[in-house]
Structure 1
Amino acid sequence: MALHVAQYTLDVTDLDLMAGFWSAGLDYRVERGDDGNAKLHPTPERPAGTPTVWLQASDTPKRGKNRLHLDLVADGDPGGGGTAAARAGRPARRRRPVR
């Protein structure tokens, strides 16, 4: 069963600026929440399964790299996480060094 990205999540300090930037760049529709965050949705012309973007408002400016959070779902997992969460909990296989 394959995994795919369902949503990208970004922390932002200026929600209006970033919603405008990302929605224009991606041609996404903005849905503002009552919680001070925004969700960007792909237009209906996009293929099914095109990821959404969640802009999470943050009062604290970040120094250095801004981390990106990916929400993964497994094909055939309508709950959106059972199999993906199980895979995420498994340790990665170690590879032997090439000599």
Structure 2
Amino acid sequence: MTMQLAMVTVDSDDPGPLARWWAEQVGGQVVQDFDGGYVMVGLPDGQPALAFQKVDDPTPGKNRIHLDLTADTSVEAEAERLVRAGATEVGRHEAEGFRWVTLADPQGNQFCVAEGH
């Protein structure tokens, strides 16, 4: 049996605004909103969906799973755009010529942006 990644789900104490923020950043759109308790973002080109679910007590500290995104512009330009949109820069990294920036979304979930592969 082969599995396919269908969706990445993020816990949040306020999923609606976070879902809308992510939809704007990745060119998606909110496709389902179940009374603000579960919000799904559809992404273009058959990419897995993003979902945001309301939980009373989100996991504290650094998230254990994060999104790795690629930029169709320079990593620096994309990181700057995301910071202007409300993200926070966490750090810049390079390993064997591969560069990426770690950021946090408006609710503190970390994610990385790298050059396209």
TM-score under structure 2 length normalisation: 0.46
Q: Which residue of 2 aligns with 1:63?
A: 60
**For the pair shown, which has the larger CA radius of gyration, 1 or 2?**
1
CA distance in 2, matches of 1:64, 1:16: 21
Q: Which residue of 2 aligns with 1:27?
A: 27
Count residues with an aligned counterpart: 65
Q: Deviations over 1:61-87 (max 9, x none)?
A: 432122439xxxxxxxxxxxxxxxxxx
Of Structure 1 and Structure 2, the greater strand share is in 2
Task: Give the number of the structure with larger relative contact order, counting CA–CA contacts within 8 Å between residues 6 or more apart.
Answer: 1
Question: Pairwise CA RMSD of aligned residues?
Answer: 2.4
Q: Deviations over 1:10-67 (max 9, x none)?
A: 101121221121111111111201471101112xxx323x110111111214321224
- 4+ residue segments displaced more than 6 Å: none
Gaps of 5+ in 2: 67-117
CA distance in 1, matches of 2:6, 2:58: 26
Secondary structure at 1:21 match in 2: helix
TM-score under structure 1 length normalisation: 0.53
Q: Percent identity?
A: 29
